[in-house]
Every structure is written in structure tokens, then in C-alpha cells.
Chains A and B, each alone.
Chain A
């Protein structure tokens, strides 16, 4: 390792905005003079809103003076704003809690309400068993019927209740295939055109991987998956698929072949976004704990939009992943804690992780001649222990030195877990992008943790004792229940299952290995294509920008209810 010069400090603008009128390198600050929570316009809004709620319901609520530490409210130090990294947008910290951010909710809604269902199995049943003709015209007709039925409308029976289209406007079905001739024969409104959505090199690989098979990208209504759960998605979808086949192909509603179609839609031909979890975690498919990291890196689309910047593509996965896995999965599903947001946002605000990661990019270019701006498997470095140790050590030391040299940045990331996640993420990303190997990236993460702990004699919260101090040993293990390649690890992988501040970064490390190689997908080409859909409510190519829009209240989500509630 050897320090390299990098004069650009991506975090400086944020620090100057957050700590206005102060030198970012100052070692002292003023405290206890900020008038508590009154310094925050958002918390003032909370108090006002709470008073209205209390008057309405007659039960006490938000009372930050009386209820916080016996009369000492938040805000004895400066309550900072945050710049959502890579966006230039400054937001209130409170607005990055998923309850206060409609974009965050929609990102998870859009994943949970999605399944991909194969059409070839059903077509074989129709053709070979029932002798029916399947042509582009019949497929188009079926898709018309399905887009009527999937939101909750009747197709076969009389006197049925139906859902209001204005409440389920986010629900639809499109198809994709690697057979461009077939794609060209289908109505454009129903087609995810791989050639148009992806850069040519990626499109070629994706089309070849999907081949001639035809797949349905299905998004059931947000309201349905919210009221029920992720396990509902494939069931809701399969019911409407079955009814649509009956309607479109004039089948008998009770004939045995319908069972084949149901089986294909519910089991044999369905791709869930997440596998179900064991009883101790008790979740069905399509819940966050079952999303493999390789799948998550395919869901996020930044490498499609920014194919020549694997660092940015990975950082977008960090943002999306920490929000989903830390704030929603571990924070709320698993623990119920409200404060997990504080861990997660450190990784996608103020351009701090961005700066550390681009330092790593400069380093791998300078020392190993990795042309990271032109992703290719050809110039990756062989992932030896020495190489990973070297890259990770240099990136870790640089990050620690930046925190030391800019005390306002240390104050920004005031918790050790925040710093631990950010430093190790930069090390993991640098290692994985340099080598094109996700497990090498994970190995870089754990060396950083050990270096960090010994350098500052502290690391993160208690949980870091377990995961990060024994983590080196499982990074290259692939024994059952002890290890796996990074792509198929996930939030419920044994050693990862309990710790905030890790899983989003792990997902990005896995993604980085592929983005660095210029791969079209990380694990599943079908998922990569499915989430390239511009009609989705949430733009998966720009998760951090979407979160910023949510924070400043400019994001329009699905799940409309004003049609069925009294006007305010």
C-alpha cells in the first residue's frame, strides 16, 4: 500500500453546507446554544402536527421537551441537514425515515409486488394438450385481458365485484424475450424491449441468456401487497393469469388443463424476488430477508444507465440496499427500532462513501492499472490475498485519515457503526471492482473491520463483535450453511442475519464485482430486464435521487386512497 494524491474531496461541499460558517477542519465547536429542537423546521412541524392530532383524538403524542431525557430535548448540538449523495439535494434527517419518505416506501412496494412468470409452459399446455393455436395475435389478446384482470377486474364470471382502476393504476403486466422477432410482433405497450432499454453490449448478453422463452413481468397493485404481504404477489398474479387464459383462449373454467396453468403460474414457472424464510423468521416469499445479494444488484439498474462508472452503480446499490435491508428489514421487520435510519443514511449521504470509493478507484488504476471507467473482465487483477490486503488496507487507512483530518466529518458520522460500514464498504467495493470477484470484495470488507478496530480501539455496536471479527473466516468458505459465493448470500445468510449497517453494502460489493467486469447482469437476467421498466413508479436506475425526491416531497407514489375516503 502507498498513499496516492487525490485533491478532490467530494464531501467538502456537504460539510460546508451542514456546518455553515465553520472550518470543516476545526477541532472545536459551540454546543448547548441551539435552542433544542426549535432549530429544526421539521421538528417544529412535528410539534404543530402533534398538537392537532391531540386535539382531535384527546390522547397525548409527540412531546419532545417533557419526554426526552426528563426535560432535555434533542438539539443540544447542531441538528444537521444531509445531502443525499450524488444528487446535490439537502434534506432533513427525519425525511430519510421510510415512514416520512414515499419514495422509500415505493421502492420496497415495487419489489414486493413483482413476480416474473414464464409463458412457455402455459403455451405448451394450450398447444400440445388442448390443441389451441398460440400466435402473436393471441398473445396480444391475452395480454389485453390480463391487464384488465391483474388489477382486479372480472373476466369470466357474472355479477362479480371489481377494484376501482383509480386505486390500482400501478398494476400491469409486460412481457420480455430474447427473441427479437417475437418481441417486434407483439404490441409495444406490452413489451420490455431489451434492445431499446439496455446498452448494446448488455442487450446482446441479456437476449442470449433469455433465449426464445417468453416471460411476464408482473406488478400487482401496491395496495394489495401492502394490505397482505409479499407471499400474496405470486398468488394474486396466478389467479388473474389463470382467469385470463380461460377468457382469452376460450377454455372451460373447470377443465383439468387449468390446473396445469395454475401450477405453472404459482410454482413451476414463477420467479420470486425473494425466497421464503425459515420458521424462526416466519416470512413468505417476496419479503426482504429472502432477497439474494446477486438478485438485489440486478434489481438496481444503475449499471444499465451508467455502464462506465461501476463505482456509481455500486453506490446506488448501497443506497437502495441500506434503505431496504437496514431501515425496513432489520430496522422494522426484525427489530422494530426507529433509529436504524441513522446507520443506513451514513452510507448514502454527504458523499463520504463516494469519496472513499473513488479514492479506491484512483488507487486500483494507479497501482494495478485497472481501467475502471471501461469495465471489462480482461484487466481485472487476480484476486490473491496479497492484492485484497493491499487494496483494502490502503482504502481503509485513507478513509480513517480523512475522518481524522476533517473533524466535522467525524462529527457527521458520529457513531462507530456508521464509520465502520462506510469504511468497509469502500474497501469491499474497491476490492470487488478491481478483481471482479464478489468474495474477494467481502474479504476486503473484513480486513477493513479488523484494521479499523485496532486503529481506533473501537468499532461499531455490540453486533460488530460477532459478524465483523469472525467474518474473515467465512468469506471464502462455500460449505453448506457456512458460506456461499457472494451472489447467493443474502440477508438471512447465517452470519449476516442480525446486523444493521452491512447488508446493503454486501449487496453492492457483489454488484461491484460484475459492474467492474462490465457484466450485463449479476445473477438473473430476467430480473435485470424486469426492473428496467420505465413504467415502474420507482426509478431503479436512480435510487438515491428518488429518495431525495421523496424527502423533499416531490415523489408521487402509488397506493392512492383519496378516491375512497372523505375529502379533507
Chain B
């Protein structure tokens, strides 16, 4: 019987949103346009238009060992070219940001290839070959996975995910990498590591509160979906825990 992913339990809207983001057969809604050059600027790994620095020669030009795994796995474009491994890192506000650290890791694992995600409480990093990263970043930035005010692209000094929002609705960022203009547009004035950009990069207007609460993937009892209300989800976690406990105690049956 072929494995059929279920993308997690739960009867709530939050659980449904999580499944939708994870399921690669579901197209993520495009919310904004960010040019390829703008993505390169925010990432800050190379100058726009510069060649991709390499970590090794293109695979076609180097002697590959006789390895059965290499015959099975098709290399990504970045791996083929020998690109360096670089990263994008996000901070997601607990005030109803559309995506959150483990959710990011899960959905990236379903949707992207050749990635190495790392998940913490205040940030989530994904590393991969540089040209693959730019392709994935476009999807991460242009779609419903990002809100201009409550999602931060932050390589370091990520502090802010659990803080109250600023009075203009922006998530706190000590380095103020992105600023909300009087025209209602959020612009990055520093790259993800906090270096000032030569020109500001617009990433659109913050999404409205109603949309965010309808699309968020975090349970939250203050105006959102209380975790307690999704009994199926709770029961699932308890079941996982109970089974792990039982088989750790006596690994049989």
C-alpha cells in the first residue's frame, strides 16, 4: 500500500491551514511580487548580477564515485552547479503570523528538495545551495506564508517573535530591518543580517487582522482558535506520548 501523507491531525481551522500549507498538491496563494533582484538584496549573500560562488566544480566536470545513492537521487540545480550552501531565516510573530517555525520546516520538507532546515522558538532557518535558495525564497516571500508586518527575515538578532506588536502593527526588530512607510508599504532597508541596503526593497502591505486570524497556523486563545478546542489534536499528541512511553518502558508487542 502506497504511503499517503495525512499532514497532521485536528478538526480546527488552524489544523486545516497547517495541512494546506504542507500539502504540495495545494497551491499557495500568491500575495505579492518580489523581484529576483530584490530577493538577492534581502538575502545579502551575493551582489545582484554577480556569479554564484562555488564550493566545488560542477558535478559534470568532476569525477563522481561509483555510488548507488547518487544514481537514485537527482541533484538539484544548485548542487549540479557546485553552489555554496547559504540560508534564509525567518522570525514569525506569535500574534497570528501565517507560518511558524515547525510548520515552516514541515512544509519545506514536503515542498522543497535538498534542504537543511533548523527549527527554534524564535526563528527557523533553511539552508541549501544558493540558486535553489533563491528559488525557494521567492515562494516563501511572495505567497501566503509571509506577512510583511509579522514575518521577519532575520539572519541574526531575531528577538521579537513573542513580544507585543509595535503600535503600528509591526513585530519588534531591534535592528529595524524593515519599516512601515506612510503609504502603508513595508520596505526592507537592511538585508537579513542587518547591513544597510543601497535601496529599499518593498514587500507590500501588511495583511489585515481578519485574514491573518483566518489563515494562521498557531493556536491562540486570545482572539484565535484555542488549542483546547481541538480535542482531536490534543488526543493525537497524548497518543504519541503514551506509545513512546510504553515502548521505551518495554519494547515489545
Contacts and interface: CB of A to CB of B under 8 A. Distances in A.
Interface in B224-246: 226-228, 233-234, 237-238, 240-242, 244-246
Nearest to B118: A462
B237 A456 contact: no
Interface size range of chain B in the complex: 35 or more
Contacts of A156: none
Contact of A416 (B122, B217, B222, B248): B122
B244 A414 contact: no
B162 A404 contact: no
A137 interface: no
A397 B227 contact: yes
Interface string B193-222: 010000000000000000000000111111
B223 to A, nearest CB: 9
A443 interface: yes
Interface stretch (A23-31, A234-242, A299-307, A430-438): A23-31
Nearest to A413: B162
Contact of B100 (A77, A458, A474): A458
A451 B162 contact: no
B122 A457 contact: no
Contacts of B228: 3, 397, 401
A78 to B, nearest CB: 10
Contacts of A405: 221-222
Interface in B134-180: 157, 159, 161-167, 169, 172, 174-176
B54 to A, nearest CB: 28
A404 B229 CA distance: 15
A125 interface: no
Contacts of B23: none
Contact of A414 (B118, B162, B238, B249): B162
B113 to A, nearest CB: 22
Contact of B121 (A417, A451, A476): A417
Contacts of A31: 166, 172
Given A400-B227, A405-B221, A462-B120, A457 B167 contact: no
B121 A472 contact: no
A477 interface: yes
Nearest to A411: B163
Nearest to A483: B248
A411 B164 contact: yes
Given A410-B94, A476-B245, A29 B238 contact: no
Contacts of A120: none
Interface in B88-130: 94-95, 100-103, 118-122
B121 A77 contact: no
A72 B102 contact: no
Contact of B242 (A385, A411, A416, A457): A385
A30 to B, nearest CB: 6
Interface in A430-473: 443, 446-447, 450-451, 453-462, 465, 470, 472-473
B164 A26 contact: yes
Given A3-B228, A69-B157, A77-B172, A407 B100 contact: no
A85 interface: no
A454 B232 CA distance: 12
B3 interface: no
B237 A401 contact: no
Interface in A71-102: 72, 76-77
Given A393-B234, A415-B121, A454-B237, A477 B248 contact: yes
B121 A76 contact: no
Contacts of B248: 472-477, 483
Interface string A359-403: 000000000000000000000000001000100010001001100
A422 to B, nearest CB: 13
B163 A77 contact: yes
Given A72-B174, A456-B218, A29 B119 contact: no
A415 B225 CA distance: 22
Contacts of A473: 244-245, 247-248
A458 B105 CA distance: 10
Contacts of B157: 69
Contacts of A483: 248
Contacts of B249: 476-477
Q: Which of A76, A400, A404, A414 has the most CB of B within 10 A?
A: A404
Contacts of B119: 458, 462, 465
A155 to B, nearest CB: 55
Nearest to A459: B121
B163 A29 contact: yes
Contacts of B217: 457
A420 interface: yes
B246 A457 contact: no
A241 B205 CA distance: 77
Contacts of B226: 401
Q: Which of A27, A408, A413 has the most CB of B within 10 A?
A: A27
A469 to B, nearest CB: 9
A415 to B, nearest CB: 6
Contact of A69 (B164, B194, B222): B194
Contact of B245 (A30, A404, A443): A443
B209 to A, nearest CB: 11
A456 B174 CA distance: 23
Contacts of B175: 69, 72
A300 B217 CA distance: 43
A32 B166 CA distance: 10
Given A3-B228, A474-B248, A77 B103 contact: no
A457 B101 contact: yes
B241 A389 contact: yes
Given A27-B165, A28-B164, A29-B164, A458 B102 contact: yes
Given A410-B94, A459-B121, A461-B121, A32 B167 contact: no
Contact of A420 (B102, B121, B176, B218): B121
B117 to A, nearest CB: 11
Contacts of A389: 238, 241-242
A450 B94 contact: no
A408 B219 CA distance: 18
Nearest to B157: A69
Contacts of B227: 397, 400, 451, 455
B166 A30 contact: yes
B174 A69 contact: yes
8 contacts: A393-B238, A410-B163, A411-B164, A446-B245, A451-B234, A457-B103, A472-B248, A473-B248
Given A457-B101, A458-B101, 15 more contacts: A3-B228, A29-B167, A401-B226, A401-B228, A414-B162, A419-B121, A419-B162, A447-B238, A456-B100, A456-B218, A457-B103, A458-B121, A461-B121, A462-B118, A472-B244
